[in-house]
């Protein structure tokens, strides 16, 4: 380490500190991204099940205990609700 100046050591130490300081921020971003994916998956599943509900005939709706009015009410909802 004879060829390294004091300034270079300080610069290297500052870089190490910057990396460790950014780790919590990276974890937060990853957590937010994870949450976004979970919400997106839930919305897609809701839209899929509503499409299936729209394909049921009256007998199938009756078997499930769902009235025609309940079905229409559910189909009118946006996918995020």
pLDDT tens sequence across 47-65: 999 999 999 999 999 999 9
Residues in the chain, pLDDT under 50: 1
pLDDT of residue 55: 95
Q: Is the pTM of this model over 0.75?
A: no
**Burial label, 15 (beta-carbon count in 10 A; 0-12, 13-18, 19+):** exposed
Sequence ranges of the domains in the chain: 6-75
What pLDDT, on a 0 to 100 scale, did the predictor assign at position 17? 60
8 A C-beta contact, residue 77 and residue 50: yes
Q: For residues 25 and 18, what is the distance between their CA atoms, to the nearest angstrom?
A: 11
Report the pLDDT value the prediction gives residue 20, as an integer from 0 to 100.
52
Closest CA to 49 of 75, 72, 23: 75
């Amino acid at each position: 380490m004879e060829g390294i100046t004091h300034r270079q050591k300080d610069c290297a130490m500052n870089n190490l500190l910057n990396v460790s300081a950014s780790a919590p921020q990276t974890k937060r971003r990853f957590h937010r991204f994870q949450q976004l994916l979970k919400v997106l998956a839930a919305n897609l599943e809701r839209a899929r099940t509503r499409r299936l509900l729209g394909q049921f005939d009256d007998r199938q709706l009756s078997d499930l205990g769902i009235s025609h009015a309940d079905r229409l009410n559910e189909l009118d909802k946006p996918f995020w609700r």
